[in-house]
Copies of this chain bind each other. A is one copy, B any other.
Amino acid sequence: MKKELGVKPYLFPMPVLMIATYGEEHDVDVMNMAWGGICADNMVALNLDEDHKTSKNLKQRNAFTISVADIAHIEAADFFGIASGNKMKDKFERSGLHAVKSQKVDAPIIEEFPLTLECKVVEFQHSAAGFRVLGEIVGVQAEERVLDETGKVDPKKLGAFLFDPFQNGYYAVGEKVGQAWSSGVRMMKK
């Protein structure tokens, strides 16, 4: 039996992504974003409010990094979603996290997050859905502790968490339940 819930932005799971940029004075800003992610093999899309400090920084620097937050830094990750970089001048410093400049783009890499994509802005777009920033992925960096013995990222070691848009909860990743392009293969042979 289905129940109607009205018009809501209800998909699941939602990611918890950290967008890091430099401001005018090389100051670091980080924001927490759920609406966006991979949109092509080498591209990410950010759906942002154009008034954010991040949006201003993106227009000036044409670069950003996007990181996956981990449970070990959930307090800072959530704080980056509460505080406004326009209003709080010491936002990044308060988090206690550390940044280094990317070698590839004019944006900071937050050292504590386990996985980071370095991106160049390709296009700023306006549409019925608002402001969107298209970024080309030019590098990916992962902490060695989240890699398995073959050098691939192990999702269980990443310590990532996800956002629930229904009740605003954060959840850990659970057990493995299947394998893409394999779990459904029996139906191909019917």
Give the number of chain A interface residues (Cβ < 8 Å).
103
Complex contact B47–A2 (CB within 8 A): no
1/0 per position for A2-20, CB-CB distance to B under 8 A? Answer: 1111111111111101000
1/0 per position for A139-180, CB-CB distance to B under 8 A? Answer: 111111001000111110010111111111111111111111
Residue of A129, A130, A158 ringed by the most chain B CB atoms within 10 A: A129
Given A180-B78, A181-B82, A11:B37 Cβ within 8 A: yes
Given A74-B183, A78-B183, A142-B2, A115:B12 Cβ within 8 A: yes
Copies assembled:
2
A138 and B147 alpha carbons, distance in the complex (Å): 42
29 contacts between A and B (CB under 8 A): A3-B151, A5-B153, A6-B139, A7-B42, A7-B139, A7-B140, A11-B17, A11-B115, A14-B15, A36-B39, A38-B165, A40-B129, A40-B130, A71-B177, A79-B184, A79-B187, A94-B190, A122-B129, A123-B127, A125-B127, A128-B136, A129-B134, A154-B167, A161-B177, A169-B179, A170-B178, A171-B177, A172-B174, A172-B177
